[in-house]
Amino acid sequence: MMTGMRRTIGWLAAAAVVTLVFGSLYIAFQQSGRRSANVAPAAAAAAQLQLLGTSAPRSRGSS
């Protein structure tokens, strides 16, 4: 009876470790995907701001 309980506890511990490992990998890949999804819009916004900054009309009072 005791060996069955030990075997069950061993399997549950192994299942918990495997779940934690794969859960951590899943979270890491999700975060990586979310960060890379922000790269293109951020680059486009930076380029647009740079264009607006260089092509902005000069104020009329300065010479």
- What is the identity of the amino acid at 48? Q
Is a pLDDT exceeding 60 seen at residue 8? yes
Whole-number Cα distances in Å, 40 to 26, 32, 35, 44, 59: 23, 14, 10, 6, 33
Q: Is residue 7 part of a domain?
A: no
Q: What is the pLDDT of residue 16?
A: 98
Per-residue pLDDT reduced to its tens digit, 13-57: 999 999 999 999 999 999 988 888 888 888 888 888 888 876 555
Q: Residue 40 belongs to what domain range?
A: 18-49
Q: Is residue 59 part of a domain?
A: no
To 5 degrees, how large is the angle CA 42–CA 43–CA 49? Answer: 90
Number of domains in the chain: 1
Q: Is residue 58 part of a domain?
A: no
Q: What is the pLDDT of residue 9?
A: 95
Q: What is the pLDDT of residue 45?
A: 87
Q: What is the pTM of this model?
A: 0.55
